[in-house]
Amino acid sequence: MSDALVKDQEFLLPASGLFIAFSLAAAVMFNWLPWSGWGLILKPDFVALVLLYWCTHKPYRVGIGIAWMVGIFADVADASLFGQHALAYAVLAFGGTVLHRRIQMFDLRQQTMQIFPLLLISYIVYAIVHWQVSHFVVWEYFIGCVVSAALWIPMTILLQNLRRPRSDPNEL
């Protein structure tokens, strides 16, 4: 991990709406992967990670409204309770938007410690809604929160590398 990767963010290309939409669609596709066994217990929430990335890096472009719409789409796609993902993602987006300056001032390792509570709150909101409907909570579900936080560093590096300007091969 290079600190230069985090510190030189002024050299990142502006994120287009199409790129943001593509990254969110890719995250939804990763959430749809067929997990089973231990993979189901360790399954990270890719949509929450990408939403949190965009809420902390572009809070004026991606916020609670986008998070709510992506959450409704995730609810329909997963055939879960309508609004369950939407509420959890909206709470996550609120936290990411409010704390975006604080999160930005840390390096990637320290950012992981800052985003873990946000992810945990999102997972708790999802679990409370699930508990209200089905009257039980699967506690192993919270392991996915730790895995999601651990994936913050590689996901941030990937999205930042995709936003870097490409050098012209014809340039000296």
| 36 inside domain | no
Cut 0.85: pTM above it: yes
Query: What angle is formed at CA 79 by the lines to CA 23 and CA 36, rounded to 5 degrees?
Result: 75
27 touches 46 (CB < 8 A)? yes
Instruction: Please determine, for residue 134, whether its predicted confidence score (pLDDT) is greater than 60.
Output: yes
Count of domains for the chain: 1
User: What is the crossing angle of helices 46-57 and 143-150, to 10°?
Assistant: 50
Q: How far apart are CA 13 and CA 72, in angstroms?
A: 29
| Structural domain boundaries, residue 130 | 3-31+41-162
| 172 inside domain | no
120 touches 145 (CB < 8 A)? yes
**Residue 163: other Cβ atoms inside 10 A:** 17
Max CA pair span of the chain:
66
In the chain, what are the helix, strand and coil shares in percent, each to the nearest 5?
70, 0, 30
Whole-number pLDDT of residue 6:
46
> Band of the pLDDT at 81, cuts 50, 70, 90?
confident
